[in-house]
Amino acid sequence: MHKRPPTMVCVPKLTPADAVAAVRNPLAFIADRWTPDPRTVRRAALAALVMSVVIVVTGGAVRLTGSGLGCPTWPECTAGSLTPTEALSYHSAIEFTNRMLTYVLCAAVGWAIIAARSEKPYRRSLTRLGWAQFWLVMSNAILGGIVVLVGLNPYTVAAHFLLATALITVAAVMWQRTGEGDGEPRLLVGKAVQQLVWALVAVTLLLITAGTVVTGAGPHPGDSGDVERIKVSWSGVAELHAVFAWIVVSLTFALWFFLKGIDAPQGPRDRVRDLFLILLGQGVIGYIQYFTHLPTILVGLHMFGSCLVWIGVLRVLLSLRERAGVDTTADLPAQSYDAVSASIAGPR
């Protein structure tokens, strides 16, 4: 039997001009040589969204295990050391692991930016959403350092969580936009439904904000030492938080019946149904943790559920309109326009 000759892989040589171009504008260099499948772009956006949720949950684990000051300084873990030393406890490992996950989040956001920038035709809106995530990550990393340096001041902790929620917002919008075109949005529902959904968004924001106050006043300060707390009754704020939760549930329930009554498109109805199921699970966890005096594991699950609720509300809002196919000429870089036009025209 004759052996098949080995397959030769041709690797293009990198010329000095290519090297200069790669250094001057690496994103454009990659985009000129790689066209990702639309599914790849969507997966990249989803990865960034998943990591934005993971970083919130792991940040909650840091607080719930009392590891908020496991690395007592920033950007180093201890004075003169970027990593935990043997003299520190397991709290240091937990806090340091959460810090390292920030790099994983940066990698996910970077992948989303590269994939969006390389997609053909070029969609400036997607790239901008990717860069918005990058700057939010950088801002929250700095704010996280401030949180440590001020000894877990509860107001800075609350701001840290709200900025993470802003990151989740942008990541969710980018993920949604990867499945749409760039045409003008066309509304699928009337003004009354839009107003109801915006009321749902507003009350959900109040719900999340009240949750941060519960965190700042509650029994999980983030460290075993003397940590400042928000001087309000955490049980009273928790009850206010529950009131907002019931309003969100009521609005969602009313919205589902309203959409069904006017025979709205299936998309908005499905998103409202999904949100309602998430809210039911979150409500069960919330009441159990309240009556069992906030056990750590349930508080962590509740934080995860908070992220899912917000993503669910955003998906309801974004489902109220649709966009036509991608505009194949808008915002195209000059060097790519001719190639894209030729591919659209096909063989002569």
Instruction: Give the integer Cα–Cα distance in Å for 309 and 303.
Output: 10
pLDDT in tens, 129-143: 999 999 999 999 999
Provide the pLDDT for residue 17: 67
Give residues with Cβ within 8 angstroms of 140, minimum separation 6: 160, 163, 164, 167
Interatomic CA distance for residues 241 and 286, integer angstroms: 10
CA angle 170, 173, 177 (to 5 degrees): 135
Supply the pLDDT for residue 317.
96
All structural domains of the chain, each given as residue ranges with its CATH number in brackets, are 27-182 (no CATH), 184-324 (1.20.120)
Residue 316: phi and psi, rounded to 5, are: -60, -50
Asked if the model's pLDDT at residue 341 lies above 50, the reply is: no
Of 43-52, 88-97, 153-162, 220-229, the range with the lowest mean pLDDT is 220-229
Per DSSP, the three-state class of 321 is: strand
Q: Of the given ranges (101-115, 149-163, 315-329), which has the lowest mean pLDDT?
A: 315-329
Distance separating alpha carbons of residues 297 and 95, to the nearest angstrom: 17
Residue predicted with more confidence, 341 or 191: 191
Residue-wise pLDDT tens digits, 309-322: 999 999 999 999 98
Q: What is the DSSP string of 47-81?
A: HHHHHHHHHHHHHHHHHHTTBTTSS-SSSSSBTTB
Nearest to 95 by CA among 119, 114, 78, 116: 78
Model pLDDT, residue 7:
47
Confidence band (pLDDT; 50, 70, 90) for 333?
very low
pLDDT on residue 225: 60
